[in-house]
């Protein structure tokens, strides 16, 4: 009887460890993804601006094209 209770207790402990490990893995994956993104975009605001200059230029051109097409309606 005691052996069965010990086994049940150990199962609960292992289940708790599994949940903790899942949370740790999820946290590390999120941190890893964030670091990869920062590496790609740049660690500082200056690096980010430099690395994203082409995208920013495209967005400005696109916004200007929309503004040219829609005129005052774009402002409202």
Closest CA to 55 of 42, 44, 68: 42
In the Cβ-directed half-sphere of 27, how many Cα atoms lie within 13 Å?
A: 6
Contact assessment for residue 74 and residue 66, using Cβ atoms and an 8 Å cutoff: yes
What tens digit of pLDDT does each residue of 47-57 get?
888 888 888 89
Is the pLDDT at 16 greater than 80, yes or no?
yes
What tens digit of pLDDT does each residue of 27-45 get?
876 776 666 666 667 777 7
- Domain assignments of the chain as residue spans, ordered by start: 1-40, 44-75
């Amino acid at each position: 009887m005691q052996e069965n209770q010990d086994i049940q207790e150990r199962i609960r402990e292992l289940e708790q460890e599994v949940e903790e490990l899942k949370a740790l893995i999820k946290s590390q994956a999120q941190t890893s993804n964030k670091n990869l993104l920062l590496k790609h975009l740049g660690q500082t605001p200056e690096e980010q601006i430099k690395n994203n200059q082409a995208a920013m230029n495209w967005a400005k051109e696109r916004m200007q094209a929309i503004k040219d097409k829609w005129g005052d309606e774009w402002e409202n």
